[in-house]
Amino acid sequence: MEYKNIEYKNIYTIKNEFNEAKILGANNNNLKTMEEMYQHPIIVSRSIVSIPVDRDEKEIVLLFETLEKILNASFSLSLIDIINIIKSIKKDEIDELLHIYLKKELICTLSNSKAIYPKTINQSLYLHALNNNSIVFGIGPAGTGKTYIAVLYACNLLKKQDIKKIVLVRPVVEAGEKLGFLPGDIKEKIDPYLIPLYDCLEDVFGKTNVEKMIEKGIIEIAPLAYMRGRTLDNACIILDEAQNTTQMQMKMFLTRLGFNSKMIITGDTSQIDLMNKSLSGLIEASRILRDIDGIKFINFEKSDVMRNPLVYKIIEKYEEK
C-alpha cells in the first residue's frame, strides 16, 4: 500500500492501550487485511488511527469501536474475525453480528479447551435451527462452516449424552469411482471422502479417541447406499455433500430418522457432480420440504465464507461467469 504524498486525518483513538497490538495482529496482518479490504492505507500509531482525507471515516471508526468491544469482552481476534466484521459493516449488519459475538452461544469445546462460537449471522441462525428442529439443512458455498458446525454440534450432543452415536454419511460420486472398485472394507472405501469430517471429530475428541469410538460403534461411517432399511434412534446423523444425492436417495435417507435423533444435511448446489444436475435430491428437498414444522433450511452466502480471503474472491469470480 502506497503511503507517500497522502494527506491524513486522525479519526479514532484506541481507548484501551492493550488492545492496539491485538487489533493490528501478528506482523500487522490484521491491519494489512483492513487496508486491502478498504483499498487505502490505515495508520495506527500510539493508539491513534489515521486514514487519508475523504475516505471511509464512518466505517473505519465503527470497525475500531467494534473491535474494541469484542476485545473488552475477552475475545481474541483472528484474521477471519476482521474480514467478517468488515463485511458485516458494509452490509449494515454489524449490530446483529456484535450481539452474536457478545452472546457467546457455545457450539462445542475442542480438545485443546478452545471454545467455538458462531462467527456470522447465518452461523448463529444455523445453531438456533439445530437446537430447535429434528432435521436441518445447511446449504451454501465452501468455507461457510456448515459441515464443521454440524459435526461440532453432534460431538457436543454426544459429550452431553443427549445421543448415543454419531453417524456420518456421504454419497460417493466425486471421482466417478464405485465403492466396489476401491480397496479395503467399507470404512476403508469411504474414508477418503470423509477426511473433512474426521478433522472435526479429532479437533474435539483427539485422533486416538476417535479411532476407539469408531471401533465401538459410537461413531459410525455409513455410505449412503448402505442406509436403506435402517431406523436410527438416539443418534445425530450427518449427510455431507448432499447435493450429490439423487431424489430417491434423499427420500430414503430422510425416512431413516428415528426417535430422539437429529439429521443434519449439508451441501452446495453449485457443486453438483451428478450427470443430471436437476435431479439432485438436495434441490428437490429444498423445494418441497420448507413448510414442514421440525425441518429448517439455512442458506449460507459467500459473505459467510470463513476461509482464506482468497476463497471469498474465488467464489465471487465464479459467480460472475
The per-residue pLDDT for 304 is 85
Cα–chain center distance at 7 = 40
The per-residue pLDDT for 317 is 80
Q: pLDDT for 179-202, tens place per residue?
A: 455 555 556 666 676 788 889 999
Taking residue 138's Cβ as centre, other Cβ atoms within 10 Å add up to 29
The per-residue pLDDT for 125 is 96
Q: How many helices (H) and strands (E) does the chain have?
A: 13, 11
177 pLDDT more than 50? no
The three three-digit cell numbers of residue 176, written as one number = 466417478
**Residues above pLDDT 90, as percent of the chain:** 66
Q: pLDDT for 97-154, tens place per residue?
A: 999 999 889 999 999 999 999 989 999 999 999 999 999 999 999 889 999 999 999 9
pLDDT band at 175 (very low <50, low <70, confident <90, very high): very low
Domain ranges of the chain: 8-103, 108-320
The dihedral built from the CA positions of residue 222, 228, 234 and 236, taken in this order, carries a sign that is positive
Q: pLDDT for 237-285, tens place per residue?
A: 999 999 999 999 999 999 999 999 999 999 999 899 888 888 899 999 9
The per-residue pLDDT for 2 is 54
Average pLDDT over the chain, rounded to an integer:
89
Q: Which CATH architecture has domain 108-320?
A: 3-Layer(aba) Sandwich (3.40)
pLDDT band at 313 (very low <50, low <70, confident <90, very high): confident
The three three-digit cell numbers of residue 229, written as one number = 432399511
pLDDT band at 172 (very low <50, low <70, confident <90, very high): confident
Residues near 189 by beta carbon (within 8 Å), at least 6 away in sequence: 172, 179, 182, 183, 223
The per-residue pLDDT for 78 is 87
The per-residue pLDDT for 238 is 96
Q: Which of 212, 199, 207 is nearest to 151 (CA)?
A: 199
